[in-house]
Amino acid sequence: MFGMGYGVSAVVKHAVQLMGLNAPAPVSRPVPPGTEYASVRELGEQMARPGGLTSVELVSYLQQRIRTLDPALSAVIELNPQALDIARELDCERANGRVRGPLHGIPVLLKDNIETADTQQTSAGAFALVGAPAAQDAFIVERLRQQGAVILGKTNLTELAGFRGGPDGMSRRGGQTRNPHDADAPVGGSSSGSAVAVAAGLAPLAVGTETNGSIVVPAAFNGVVGLKPSVGVLSRSGIIPASHRQDTPGPMARTVFDSALLLNALSGSDPHDAATTQAPTGIDYTALLTPGALQGKRIGYPATFSADGESLPVDNSPQFAQTLEVLRTQGAQLVPVNIRLADASRYDELLLADVKDELNGYLAKRDGLPVKSVSELIRFNEQRDGTDTDHQPVLKDVEASTLSAEERAPLWDALIQAFRGTVDELIDQQSLDALVSDFETNSYFAVAASGYPGISVPSGKDANGAPTSAYFFGARWSEPTLLAVAHGYEQAAKVPARPGL
């Protein structure tokens, strides 16, 4: 699955593409050592000092770092040619006493399926979606701009968010994203570029999107924090869709606190996304991230899984045993639980049918692209890439879907309720604040299918030196508690996050 390479000629082409965009003026003075791995709070403190770091200096420094490192990583698919001008304006605002919030002047990368109303493409890594830029910003991009964030560029992804079919992290437009810890290690998908960029110090923050695992998996594989919120916490307006029942954007960062800051900036009720009207509003997701947050928390962990009346023991990794020990020493009450596995036999069938309807609807309304439907997208790829091999198997399965919206609705309702029950019954019966699992148990599937929140937090490294991750999850709208638990674990575990590059 991870065998497709990214040849030397493609690397050179990618480097030239990045170098040709928005070449910055030379940085007038060196930025402080370690700036590439500074937290958002640290960067804000540096900018607040008289004569301190400016947003222009930070953006210019990161642009140059991207040009230097990214040809080997293919994490960034495009730089924003307006980034320095935006940073300059924000520096002027700060100099005049106006600071919009914690993200004022902070660079943020966006996954290339999130629309921006500027000169950048929104292509999901597909040449078939390269054309006129989007007509308006996605709702979450509007929120970022209002908060004073600088859109640094777009990140690579598994093409069409994985719905073309192919290696994780591979898109025809962006090439093969590489893991900064080990170029031959899995990179995860589909928010591969967002995870790699944060891990490699190309930006302090990135935004990914997830239908099922596309934030938390690449975050885990690349040693960063990835938060998949409850469906409805964040708007999907202006994001290339897969399924409105499952899709959500989410923060990717190097710390839980920075993830919470980004969640604050992104969240808000959007009249164009009905799911957001059900979500809690006015929440400061950093409020509970305090010392001692784990004290007395009841946290469930899977001791067994059960399906069809049969119970099977969970084979947890040595890293997960260490995770449990850290939680225990911080005062958490650990509760072994049996996780019932819901019937997912029709999940793929339902999801692909959703993708067909929603992607067709999106393409029909998006002006200035070479294709207007999934069938045209398939033909475009065949004409461009040939037909000698089947290079778009999932996209063909999408086009072959026949379940109507009316047929899907009751099946989806039953499936989602079944998956929610697997989480809710544990929390209710055991009075749990949250659950934690070894990432290798794939608990994220049930959580994503439920539309519930989950967060990957680095937990160490395995015997091969690859990052490992703990996965915390909980009930719908439980983000404040979930972030507090994850933050408490992170602060106690003190896992070094920087890759060797």
Just list the catalytic residues. Answer: 111, 190, 214
**Residue bearing tokens 């937990």:** 459
In the chain, how long is the greatest CA-to-CA distance? 67
Residue 396: Cβ-neighbour burial (10 angstroms; 0-12, 13-18, 19+): middle
Residue 464: Cβ-neighbour burial (10 angstroms; 0-12, 13-18, 19+): exposed
Length of the chain: 501
Q: Which of 186, 175, 168, 220 is nearest to 467 (CA)?
A: 220
The vertex-292 CA angle with 323 and 261, nearest 5°, equals 85
Q: What is the CB-side half-sphere exposure of residue 70 using CA atoms within 13 A?
A: 34
What whole-number distance in Å separates Cα of residue 266 and Cα of residue 286? 13
**Residue bearing tokens 């929140």:** 453
Question: What amino acid occupies position 287?
Answer: A
- The answer to whether residues 434 and 327 touch, using CB atoms and an 8 Å cutoff, is no
All residues at 6 or more sequence positions from 362 whose CB lies less than 8 Å from its CB, including other chains: 240, 241
What whole-number distance in Å separates Cα of residue 305 and Cα of residue 334? 17
How is residue 457 written in tokens? 């937090």
CB count in 10 Å sphere of residue 437: 25
- The answer to whether residues 483 and 285 touch, using CB atoms and an 8 Å cutoff, is yes
Task: Give the pairing type, strands 467-473 and 454-461.
Answer: antiparallel
Residue 130: Cβ-neighbour burial (10 angstroms; 0-12, 13-18, 19+): middle
- The answer to whether residues 456 and 469 touch, using CB atoms and an 8 Å cutoff, is yes
Q: Is the peptide bond before 230 cis (omega within 30 degrees of 0)?
A: no
All residues at 6 or more sequence positions from 401 whose CB lies less than 8 Å from its CB, including other chains: 349, 352, 353, 355, 356
Q: What is the CB-side half-sphere exposure of residue 483 using CA atoms within 13 A?
A: 29
What phi and psi values does residue 197 have, to the nearest 5 degrees? -60, -40
Q: H/E element holding 65?
A: helix 55-73
What whole-number distance in Å separates Cα of residue 60 and Cα of residue 243? 37
Question: What amino acid occupies position 416?
Answer: I
